[in-house]
Amino acid sequence: MSKKVVFVQKSTLLNGVLRFSALRTEITKSRYLDSYGTLRNRDKVLEFEDYLQKLGYELEFESQEALEQYEMICESVRNPYVVRSPFLDDHSLFPFQHVGLNLVWKQLHEENPRVLVQWDTGAGKTLLSCLTSQNLFDAGEIDRVLVFCKKIKQHDWEQEFRRMTHLDVTQVSGKLSRKQRHEFYEKSRHQVIVMNYEKVREGSLVKKAGSRRRVRDYGRTDLEQVIEMVRGERLLVVID
């Protein structure tokens, strides 16, 4: 008896989407696949797998990469990342984002939690940080999120937190004087604070004794005030 196989490959024409091909129309014309042989709905991948098994088909993958992509899609359906987010009212996460968010969540609950995210530009590192923050707050596991980034990215981070979460977010403006910033640190009760790490670590300009020149005093940075602001709090620190 001949082996019944569905061949799975990454399409070069459809931006790497998986294509499923077989000799019989019961597969290629099934309600699970479109005319290109790709899944009409990724959320139905496990249902499609059950359908193939009932008909006696086995999946054969063109490459290890195709197999890993298929397993990632299956994992995202078995264990979707669930979070309260206004962004997800109108958008859906990609399979790798479901898997990545679950992995980060798991790592954040290990001893000495720390995570390095090395996704490509545009893959969703900011999204991951925002949605993880929302879930940590909802679970009552943190009191504050501090985001440290370059000055030119502060506005983007603030806007993304507003767009993707229900959290109270603000940024420390670089236009504030040192005194104003310290007053902010003393009074702030915001859940998410976006900070310019160049400003936090740079020293204040002070007059040099016996000279009209002003120099940087790195013993008088904002860092001490930031530490005092969050003393005793449970933190998530995001560094971009």
Q: Are strands 18-21 and 5-10 parallel, antiparallel or unpaired?
A: antiparallel
* Tokens at 112, concatenated: 């000495």
pLDDT band, residue 12 (cuts 50/70/90): confident
Res 220: pLDDT: 55
Total residues found in the chain within this entry? 240
141 SS3 class: coil
What percent of the chain has pLDDT above 90?
Answer: 61
Taking the C-alpha atoms of residue 8 and residue 163, their distance in angstroms, rounded to an integer, is: 37
Which comes out higher in pLDDT, residue 226 or 47?
A: 47
pLDDT band, residue 16 (cuts 50/70/90): confident
pLDDT band, residue 213 (cuts 50/70/90): low
Residues 6+ apart with CB under 8 A from 124: 94, 97, 100
pLDDT band, residue 179 (cuts 50/70/90): confident
Q: Look at residue 207 and tell me whether its pLDDT is greater than 70.
A: no
Res 208: pLDDT: 56
Residue with tokens 């440290």: 148
Res 137: pLDDT: 96
Alpha helices in the chain (DSSP H): 25-28, 45-54, 64-78, 95-107, 125-138, 154-164, 178-187, 197-201, 223-229
SS3 for 155-197 is: HHHHHHHHHHCCCCEEECCCCCCHHHHHHHHHHCCCCEEEEEH
Res 24: pLDDT: 87
Other C-beta atoms closer than 10 Å to the C-beta of 101 total 23
* Tokens at 11, concatenated: 């399409």
Res 218: pLDDT: 45
The interaxial angle of helices 64-78 and 45-54, nearest 10 deg, is 110
What are 229-238's pLDDT values in tens digits?
A: 888 889 999 9
Q: Look at residue 183 and tell me whether its pLDDT is greater than 90.
A: no
**Predicted model pTM:** 0.80
- Please report the domains of the chain, with CATH numbers, ordered by start residue: 5-78 (no CATH), 87-239 (3.40.50.10810)
Position 6: which residue type?
A: V
Give mean pLDDT, residues 158-185. Answer: 87
Counting Cβ atoms within 10 Å, is residue 18 exposed (0-12), middle (13-18) or buried (19+)?
buried
What are 55-111's pLDDT values in tens digits?
A: 999 999 999 999 999 999 999 999 999 999 999 999 999 999 999 999 999 999 988
Taking the C-alpha atoms of residue 171 and residue 146, their distance in angstroms, rounded to an integer, is: 10
Give mean pLDDT, residues 213-222. Answer: 55
Residues 6+ apart with CB under 8 A from 28: 21, 22, 37
Res 202: pLDDT: 55
